[in-house]
Structures are given as C-alpha cells and as structure tokens.
Amino acid sequence: MRYLSVEYVTFVYKRREFTGPEKLAERMKRDIADFLREHLGYFQEFDHVKVYYDNAQAIVKSALYNAVYDVLAKQAVVRRRTTMTEYRLSQVADFLCTIELAAVKYDAKEDGGTYDKLFGGVGTFKKNWLKQARRKRMK
C-alpha cells in the first residue's frame, strides 16, 4: 500500500446520532457529494471514475452511488460489484478503512484487545500504521 499511488477519504458516522436510517443515508450522500464537488477538478481529469463496492450495506451503497451520479457525469461513472480478493484497490480500501476504524475505536477507548493484538498497542498503531495510512489521505 505504501508504494501505490492512491489517495483516500473516509467518513465516520454513529448510528445513534441519527433518528433513522433515512437521515443517516441522507447525511452520507450529502457528505460524499460535497467532497466530490470540492475536488471536482481532480475527478474531471479522468475519463472514467470506477466505483467499486461490495454492496455489503444497502445504506452505504445507496448513498455512494447516488452522490457519485449526482455530481459526476453519468457516462463517466462505471460501477463494479467486487469482492476484496478480486481487486488490489479493494484490498487497499479495506485496509485503509480498517486503519481509520481502529483510530476511531482507540480515540473512544473502545478498542478492546483485538486491535492491540493486531497493531501492538495504541502507540505502535499511531506511530506506524496510522501515520503511513494518513500520508495517502486526500486533503
């Protein structure tokens, strides 16, 4: 992942902060669309924008696809259903989401022992794993 030319952004939501799934989906779509508009010039440099999602969560799928189609030209967007083992970028995306989720869990002191076993504790996690991932974050 360190040597791939990728950039990423993540959005974090807590279900309990929304009155229902519709409100959460609305907020997710708005945040993704706003991000795409802020970086529209970057995305317009490409002939095609491929959206790879495994359709694991209907609410995420809906927000993602609707936001992308609302902001980017429909003929430029290619949707692909995928599994993590099919595409390297899907594996990278899964890894980056895992890192960002771990950061949220560590900050909230909800990490349990699993993340410590995987990353070697919060200090090691922040110094090594999180620091490397955040270098790839879109600004």
Q: Quick: pLDDT tens for 34-76.
A: 999 999 999 888 888 878 777 788 899 889 988 998 898 776 7
Q: Quick: pLDDT tens for 124-137.
A: 999 999 999 999 99
CA distances from 50 to 75, 80, 81, 88, 129 (A): 11, 7, 10, 14, 27
- The domain ranges of the chain are 15-134
| Structure-token pair, residue 28 | 């997710």
Stated pTM of the model: 0.83
Q: Quick: pLDDT tens for 73-103.
A: 776 777 666 665 667 777 888 899 999 999 9
Give 62-67's long-range contacts (Cβ < 8 A, gap of 24+).
62/25, 62/29, 63/25, 63/28, 63/29, 63/32, 64/28, 64/32, 66/29, 67/28, 67/29, 67/30, 67/32, 67/33, 67/36
